[in-house]
Structure 1
Amino acid sequence: MKVAVVGHVEWGSFALVDAVPRTGEIIHTKDFWQEVAGGGSVAAMQLAQLADSCLFFTAIGDDDLGRRSIEQLESEGVEVYASVLEGVSTKDIYVHIDNQKERTVTINGNVKPDGNDTSLPWEKLAEVDAVYFASGNQEALLAARKAKTLVSTARILQLLQESSIQLDALVCSRKDTREQYSDGQLNPKPALVVTTAGIEGGSVDNGERYVAELVPESDLMDTYGCGDSFAAGLTFALGQDRELQDALHFAAQCGAEAAKRRGSFGNG
């Protein structure tokens, strides 16, 4: 089975803290590490783990952070096709992980894949079974639609509205306001709309629900990357034409496994 991701790379700086600092407060970390991160990267590494390899169309700055990001991605079995942008810094993030294992993220930059970059082999997307679209422009989205199965995050709702592309699945979040969707906001309507709700499980727009895969407290590392790992698992399962409940259960397992990894993929 061939899978792919179109989305962003972020270089992540992770700080383990007792609590997110209040305004004006100075705190010390209990641990600190850096690794490749971002929704596109997390999904690509998750899909590479499931399918033994994953194509990843992305963009980086012409800098050390971009090169280190690609090295880590390739070490996880990801086949990277990246636009290298001169004079632009690779997108990076700062992540606080508190005692509740919750992540709080600050983002610097907005580098994302550009489907107009003809140096990248966008035609390869027509050969894959399933694509997860995390970010990009309209041309990148059109290239992704040539795959048999296309799953997207609701984070890019405005782009989806402008593109009028038929999605096989849209992944939303009940808790994250950036990833919410209401019926009628997209035309054509996605074939499937899945709304996640963390440990409460989630729901489908046809009225079905799924149960979360609970992680024992002793195994819980943090919540970073759980949503995109769920989406990657759903993309993989739908690409295999699994029954809906089976696909949802599989995706929930992927999200739970992400909670057992430190940071984005345990590379820090």
Structure 2
Amino acid sequence: MPTGWTIRRNLAAACVRLAPVGSAQPRVGVVGHVEWVQFARVPHVPRAGEVVHAREPFEEPAGGGAVAAVQLARLAGEAVLVTALGEDEHGRRSVERLHQLGVDVRASWRAQPTRRAVTLVDDARERTITTLGSRLEPQGADGVVDWETLEGLDAIYFTAGDPDALRAARKAARVLVASPRARHALGHGVELDALVLSTHDEVERHEAARSGREAALVVLTDGARGGSYRARSGETGSWAAASPPGNPVDSYGCGDSFAAGLTYGLGAGLGVADSLALAARCGAACLTGSGPYERQLGAGDLKG
């Protein structure tokens, strides 16, 4: 079995130039959450009692489910997103905007308001997020969601939902990748092909400790230092971060874009090393844009 150093070396080389994905695009989707996010740039996150003036404000539907769905649509040409939204202006605007970005949204509409968030990006390009309201999650019993829409997909990324929604995703797709942020959907014996989390996120690490045994592959990201993985088979390895294709601007969405790239790669039949290399490129590309969607990796970037 290769050593961790050998795997790191090979992945670093792969990040420079990824072999093109085959001509048959995988069919991909996301089951997860959407938040209506107000973005703004600040010199630094306000200290207690301080007033800081924001600049360059804009709004987008975002959150892990939305960001991953848009990244998958840009890689595969289209993607399905099963989600839940409030029956309000933010919910309707989310569907309209995500459709513009190539996502086929299948939403169950709720009486509760669509969750909102405020994201401040400081001069160090780091984002700080405050959420407003409860996260709305799709449920397996949602009568308005046609779960058969997902049947035959090559890969699904799961960020939020109940255990029945996770079971429906598992039944539908050949490859199922999940985030520990799915929380209570995990830990019920549903097999995952991969679980993706941040090394520095205590909530994700706690949830992964509870449900990681369900995953054939556990991937731990570590920002600019790349990351590491461990497989149920006992194989372990690491990868180097890809170089951003431009100046860093905004870290919002990098992790979700990474997870989408991994999902796409595994769904396309790439091995773990190439899938992680693609994921690293997706995260690095997202870093160079303002907000999650300005500079995500596209299908044209895979041709080489």
Give the TM-score band, short-chain normalised.
Answer: over 0.9
* Higher deviation after alignment, 181-190 or 50-59: 181-190
Question: Take 2:92 and 2:248, find their aligned partners in 1: how far apart are those partners?
Answer: 30
**What letter corresponds to residue 211 of structure 1 in structure 2?**
A
Specify which of 120, 127, 139 is matched with residue 103 of structure 1. 127
**What letter corresponds to residue 237 of structure 2 in structure 1?**
E
Question: Take 1:4 and 1:200, find their aligned partners in 2: how far apart are those partners?
Answer: 28
Question: Take 2:212 and 2:75, find their aligned partners in 1: how far apart are those partners?
Answer: 32
Asked whether the equivalents of residues 90 and 111 of structure 1 are also in contact (C-alpha less than 8 Å), the reply is yes
Displacement of 1:188 in angstroms is 4.6
Per-residue deviation, residues 214-233 of structure 1 (Å, max 9, x unmatched): 226x6211100000100000
Between the aligned residues of both structures, percent identity stands at: 44
In structure 1, what is the equivalent of residue 175 of structure 2? 149
What number of residue pairs does the alignment pair up? 264
Specify which of 229, 254, 264 is matched with residue 236 of structure 1. 264
In structure 1, what is the equivalent of residue 284 of structure 2? 256
In structure 1, what is the equivalent of residue 236 of structure 2? 207
Question: Take 1:223 and 1:187, find their aligned partners in 2: how far apart are those partners?
Answer: 26
Question: Take 1:35 and 1:4, find their aligned partners in 2: how far apart are those partners?
Answer: 20
Asked whether the equivalents of residues 172 and 181 of structure 1 are also in contact (C-alpha less than 8 Å), the reply is no
Change (3 A) 1:237 1:187: closer
Per-residue deviation, residues 23-69 of structure 1 (Å, max 9, x unmatched): 11111012211111100000000000011000100011111111111
Moved over 6 A (4+): none
| 3-state SS in 1 of match to 2:258 | helix
Provide structure 2 residue ranges, at least 5 long, that are not aligned to the other structure: 1-25, 296-304
Change (3 A) 1:170 1:181: farther
Specify which of 156, 159, 164 is matched with residue 139 of structure 1. 164
Question: Take 1:60 and 1:119, find their aligned partners in 2: how far apart are those partners?
Answer: 12
| 3-state SS in 1 of match to 2:84 | strand
* Higher deviation after alignment, 110-119 or 140-149: 110-119
Structure 2 residue 92 is matched with structure 1 residue 67: yes
Asked whether the equivalents of residues 40 and 54 of structure 2 are also in contact (C-alpha less than 8 Å), the reply is yes
Asked whether the equivalents of residues 165 and 188 of structure 1 are also in contact (C-alpha less than 8 Å), the reply is no
In structure 1, what is the equivalent of residue 154 of structure 2? 129
Displacement of 1:77 in angstroms is 0.8
| 3-state SS in 2 of match to 1:82 | strand
In structure 2, what is the equivalent of residue 76 of structure 1? 101
Question: Take 2:183 and 2:33, find their aligned partners in 1: how far apart are those partners?
Answer: 16
Structure 2 residue 203 is matched with structure 1 residue 178: yes
Asked whether the equivalents of residues 36 and 60 of structure 2 are also in contact (C-alpha less than 8 Å), the reply is yes
Change (3 A) 1:89 1:182: closer
**What letter corresponds to residue 208 of structure 1 in structure 2?**
G
| 3-state SS in 2 of match to 1:208 | strand
Superposition RMSD in Å: 1.6
Specify which of 177, 186, 189 is matched with residue 160 of structure 1. 186
| 3-state SS in 2 of match to 1:222 | coil
Provide structure 1 residue ranges, at least 5 long, that are not aligned to the other structure: none
Per-residue deviation, residues 112-157 of structure 1 (Å, max 9, x unmatched): 1122112111112221000000111111111110110000012224
| 3-state SS in 2 of match to 1:185 | helix
Structure number with greater CO (CA < 8 Å, separation at least 6) is 2
In structure 2, what is the equivalent of residue 191 of structure 1? 216
